[in-house]
Each structure stands twice: as C-alpha cells, then as structure tokens.
Amino acid sequence: MRNILVTGGLGYIGSHTVVELIKNNYTPIIIDNLSNTEFEVLERLESITNTKLNYYNIDICNGKALSEVFTKHQIEAVIHFAAFKAVGESVEQPLKYYINNINGLNTLLSTMETNNVKNIVFSSSCTVYGEPDSSPVNETAATKRANSPYGRTKQIGEDILQDCKFLNTVSLRYFNPIGAHPSSKIGELPLGIPNNLVPFITQTAAGIREKLTVFGSDYNTKDGTCIRDYIHVVDLADAHVKALTFIKENPENKFEVINIGTGNGLTVLEIINTFEKVNNIKLNYSIGPRRPGDVEKVWADASKAKLKLGWEAQLDLTEMLVSSWNWQLSLKNK
C-alpha cells in the first residue's frame, strides 16, 4: 500500500515528487486547493505515470475535509508542500502567509496526531539561514531572523515540528529549485509576473517579457551579482523519496533538518550566460538596482544529505536550463 499524503501535490515541487513516488512504488494521495496551479496538472501526471491518481480538492486549513481523507486512506507518511511561497507578497500581506502556512501546518499536524500518523517530510528553505556568515552553509549554522514573513513561516514551521515529539520529521531545506520534468509535461507555472529568476529568463526568451533586470551588480561576488545554489527539481523530488526511506529506517528519529542543494554557488550572470549558451538564445537583459531583501550569497554544504539520505544531485546546470526552456516552449502549445 504505502500511501503517502502529498499536500500541494499539484504544485511545482509537489507534482515532480508525485512522479518519483510512483516510480518507487508508493501510492500518492494528493490534496491541493489549486490556489497556485491548475487541475490540468493532474491529467498530465496521470499521463506521465500511466496511473490513475487519488486527488482531493481540499484546503489545508479545512480540518474536517482533511480528517475524511485520513479516514478513507491509511496514510503511512505525509509530504507537506501546501504553502504560499512568494517572498514579496508575504511582505505586503503577512497574515495571508501566517494564516495559510502556519494554520495549515497546525491543522495537518493535529489531524495526523488524531489519526496516529507520525511521519512527515516538510518543505523548508535555505531562507531560514538569512544572510549566512559563510557559505557553503551547513545545518548547524544559526538561523537568523528571516528577511520576510514567508521565511518566518518556514522557521516557525520547523519550530512547531521540533516541539511535536510524537512526530518523526525530516525538514528539507531547499536551495533554489529550477528545471522541469524531461517530458515537458510538468514544470513551474508562475501565475502573473514571475518573481523568480529562471521563469523570468524563460518568459523573456519567449517574448512574454520584454527584458530581464539583473538585481544588482555591486555585490561582493566575483562578477558583482548574487550567488545561489540552483538545484534541479527532479533531483529535489528524489530527495523526498529518500527522506521517506530515512524515516522508515529510523523510527526513533524525532526531527532532522537536511540541506538539499548541489553545493555549487552560481551568480545571476553565470545563469544567464549558461542559459544563452545551452539553448542558443540571446537574452535581452540589463543591470538594475538591488532587490530589497535579497541575500548576497548562499550555497549549500550538502554533505549531510549524502550521509543521512544517500542523496546527492545528479543533474547539472545544462539539464536544468534546457528543461526549463523546453517547458516554456511547451506552454505555447497549451
């Protein structure tokens, strides 16, 4: 059986994780309220996996509806993706984030407790480190006050999970997920103007946006632009499957945080130049002012993921940027 409840299972990372779960003989039970995705993703997942999927249109804050899913299916573990994630919007509308991300987590955890389900993989973020004192950053680094309410919901979420001693939690701190499934049937679907770098690049290359602005070139980095650790979403999805194995093999585990990144820091200009080269496209971009709240540089020490999960990134930057572009091209034909 091995039923895994996947909250937010039709979102960007959730959908790629559903594919990896099925590959590994799990049965995903998807809940998603379609607040930041489309129903069509379900059909696309069914086509990639050649499987009829269990799906419920449920809001994570709806405890009654959630309980019904736990009654209907014997859930072995939960992978919790359902949350809002736009940093800028969280500054404008903090309560939207605290209500959805924190109340949603609390509702989920109390439903798990009532139903005697203790295993959970949590979507956390490198944003919990704030601007780290040094990179690569490992899991023992102090978490600093996050730059946004979004970041604080991840910090508070980790605190709640750590306090709930009935749980066996793995909290995965993602660095910057990019790329798309090689089938080009699923990928990131930003609604409106993208905030993140790679969707903005692909939309600019496709002519949907006129020009990409590089946010700042006066940082203390080799070319003056910010450094991040970009990780292929398919590798990231695989880390969730390995986290489930870890939980199963370590039933006494209470709370473990694990970085998920490649360990390579790349500048914004390196991403742009590689995108142009591997896809043979000229990108219209210019240098603009810094974006408030941006961290100068952060990349992962990913050695704990290798040690504890037996996981390390397999896919390189070319695969990330080619799949992102192919996904963008496929959207034209939707």
Residues annotated as catalytic (active site), given as ranges? 150
Task: Based on the shown chain and the rule CB under 6 A, indicate whether residue 268 belongs to the binding site for ligand UD1.
Answer: yes
Shortest distance in whole angstroms from residue 128 CB to ligand UD1 = 8
Tokens of 103: 């109340």
The interface region with ligand UD1, picked from 51-59, 124-132, 156-164, 317-325 by CB under 6 A, is 124-132
Task: Please report whether residue 126 would count as binding ligand UD1 according to CB under 6 A.
Answer: yes
Instruction: Taking the CA atoms of 315, 133, 195 and 62 in sequence, report the sign of the dihedral they define.
Output: positive
- Of residues 87, 112, 234, 236, which one binds ligand UD1 by CB under 6 A? 87
- Considering only residues 12, 70, 84, 200, which one is a binding residue for ligand UD1 as defined by CB under 6 A? 200
Cβ pair 302, 308 in contact under 8 A: no
Residue 22 to residue 117: CA distance in whole angstroms = 21
Smallest gap from Cβ 322 to ligand UD1, in A, equals: 18
Instruction: Tell me the CA end-to-end span of the chain in Å, nearest whole number.
Output: 35
Amino acid letter for position 224: G
Is residue 196 a contact residue for ligand UD1 (CB under 6 A)? yes
Burial class (CB in 10 A: 0-12, 13-18, 19+), 67: middle
Of the two residues 45 and 300, which places its CB atom closer to ligand UD1 in the complex? 300
- Placement of tokens 């607040």 in the chain: 35
Residue 126 in 3-state DSSP?
helix
* Per-residue x/- track, 152-171, ligand UD1 (CB under 6 A): --------------------
- Cβ–Cβ under 8 Å, residues 181 and 326: no
Q: Is 125 in the site for ligand UD1 (CB under 6 A)?
A: yes
Site residues (CB under 6 A) for ligand UD1?
A: 85, 87, 125-127, 176, 195-197, 200, 212-215, 226, 228, 268, 291, 294-295, 298
